[in-house]
Amino acid sequence: MNPKLTQEQEKQLCSLLGNIKLSLLFKASIHGYTGAAFHQKCDHQGPTVSVGYNSTGFVFGGYTSKDHDLAKQEGGNIIEKPWRTILWKAERRKELMDSVKLFRPTISSVGQARVLLIGPVGAGKSSFFNSVNSIFRGHVTSQAISGNSGTSLTTQFRTYSVKAGRDGKPLPIILCDTMGMEEATGAGLDVDDISSILKGHVPDRYRFNPSVPLQADAQEFQQSVNLHKRIHCVVYVMDTCKVSIMSTKLEEKLAAIRRRVNLLGIPQLVLLTKVDEACPCVADNLRNVYNSQYIKTKAQEVSGRLGVPMSCIVPVKNYSEELELDMSCDILLLSALIQMLRFVDNYFDDVNDQEKHD
């Protein structure tokens, strides 16, 4: 395992720190891009130097003369009064599932609510659909392609309908998956493509071209669209572990998308994924999620960076390595789904009000 530092850079660092010798403890590309993995390798190792790189080649870092100690850092991380109340009971899980099954859009011409998932590569958009699908199938399953690749595994616009059981009826919600966002120009999902998706012009299984957005005169472009083809709620999927290192370019892209969504009057929600990887006390017990000061801090940071209120930010854990369903995980996922449907109702209320005034 070799460090990415050049010999000259390492020599300069050693000189600055008093002619010491460096040994590599942790490398994110090998050990994992999580705080828990970092602390597992670096706690109680004495003074450490941390070095990071972004995609443009910029080098940054820091030095601490004291031990990393996760126990000390996380000791004050559990707050006695949860910052959001949630009922962790099997009856609550059933209530949430029934509420999703019984949901009906308030506009009769629309059979299913369409929710668009947008987010950086690897944030967990496809995994969220797979996780929701798993709950209603009764076992962990994987229909949408998901993983931890550095580039988007989703290359098409996909509309996924969740079924209540193996042979059950489709639920009244369609989750629309998009190509992952990337900070580089001409890479990942294009902002103009998002506008076309929001207005219902992009067909299912359309293959994205990051360098050229779908044009209005293209064969695939759906010219005539009704309300049932449009997007009724937009959900930004953000990896909790990467909130603090979100690049300026990515933040600017999200701001540009938010402006377009706002112009169309579509409600917006934020999913904070991988909460268990971000906070060890949540990894130990998922029910600590709303007692975690760290998760609350990350939610506040997202609120400030994206310009959305805290009430629009929902933490979740997707199924990734599990083989069996977990009640606490299901309750978080279903609570997020219910919040989406409430926002969909808000959208249709606005449509009804507009029609009355027209």
Is 317 contained in some domain?
A: yes
Is 70 contained in some domain?
A: yes
Comparing 99-108, 154-163, 328-337, 338-347, the range with the smallest average pLDDT is 154-163
Residues spanned by the domain of 325: 90-352
Q: Do both 219 and 116 map to the same domain?
A: yes
Q: Do both 58 and 192 map to the same domain?
A: no
Is 103 contained in some domain?
A: yes
- Structural domain count, the chain: 2
Q: Do both 189 and 59 map to the same domain?
A: no
Q: Name the band, by pLDDT with cuts 50, 70 and 90, for residue 11.
A: confident
Q: Do both 63 and 100 map to the same domain?
A: no
Is 80 contained in some domain?
A: no
Q: How far apart are the first and last CA of the chain?
A: 67
Q: Name the band, by pLDDT with cuts 50, 70 and 90, for residue 128.
A: very high
Q: Do both 24 and 96 map to the same domain?
A: no
Average pLDDT over residues 217-246: 88
For 247-264, write each residue's pLDDT tens digit: 888 898 899 999 999 999
Is 2 contained in some domain?
A: no
Q: Name the band, by pLDDT with cuts 50, 70 and 90, for residue 306.
A: very high
Q: How far apart are CA 273 and CA 125, in angstroms?
A: 9
Predicted pLDDT of residue 285: 95
Is 79 contained in some domain?
A: no
Count, residues in the chain:
358
Average pLDDT over residues 228-247: 92
Average pLDDT over residues 150-177: 80
Mean pLDDT for the chain overall: 84
Predicted pLDDT of residue 274: 95
CATH at 106 = 3.40.50.300
* Residue that is last in its domain, among 16, 50, 74: 74
Q: Name the band, by pLDDT with cuts 50, 70 and 90, for residue 55.
A: low
List residues bridging with 62 in a β-sheet: 50
- State yes or no: pLDDT of 76 exceeds 60: no
* Residue that is last in its domain, among 27, 45, 74: 74
95: Cα separation from own chain's centroid? 25
- State yes or no: pLDDT of 177 exceeds 80: yes
Is 331 contained in some domain?
A: yes
Average pLDDT over residues 5-22: 75
User: How many DSSP H helices and E strands does the chain contain?
Assistant: 12, 9
Predicted pLDDT of residue 121: 82
Predicted pLDDT of residue 147: 47
Average pLDDT over residues 6-29: 77
Is 286 contained in some domain?
A: yes
Question: Is residue 14 within 8 Å of 24, Cβ to Cβ?
Answer: no
Q: Do both 52 and 170 map to the same domain?
A: no
Predicted pLDDT of residue 153: 53
Q: Do both 41 and 120 map to the same domain?
A: no
- What's the whole-model pTM score? 0.78
Q: Do both 216 and 323 map to the same domain?
A: yes
Average pLDDT over residues 320-336: 95
- Read off the amino acid at residue 27: K
Predicted pLDDT of residue 131: 95
Tokens 């933490």 found at: 315
For 110-127, write each residue's pLDDT tens digit: 999 999 999 888 889 989
Burial of 263 (0-12, 13-18, 19+ CB in 10 A): exposed
Q: Which letter, b or e, does each residue of 27-56 get, where b requires 16 or more Cβ atoms within 10 Å of its Cβ? A: eeeebbbbbbbbbeebbeeeebbebeeeee
Predicted pLDDT of residue 223: 81
- Read off the amino acid at residue 131: S
What percent of the chain has pLDDT above 90? 45
Predicted pLDDT of residue 185: 62
Q: Do both 56 and 182 map to the same domain?
A: no
Q: Do both 58 and 145 map to the same domain?
A: no
Q: How far apart are CA 268 and CA 194, in angstroms?
A: 14
Report how far apart, in Å, the C-alpha atoms of 61 and of each of 5, 42, 58 are.
12, 15, 10
Average pLDDT over residues 74-80: 67
Of 56 and 157, more confident? 157
* Residue that is last in its domain, among 32, 50, 74: 74
Q: Do both 103 and 67 map to the same domain?
A: no
Q: Name the band, by pLDDT with cuts 50, 70 and 90, for residue 7.
A: confident
- State yes or no: pLDDT of 236 exceeds 80: yes
List residues bridging with 40 in a β-sheet: none
Q: How far apart are CA 108 and CA 101, in angstroms?
A: 17
Q: Do both 31 and 180 map to the same domain?
A: no
Of 149 and 309, more confident? 309
Q: Name the band, by pLDDT with cuts 50, 70 and 90, for residue 75.
A: very low
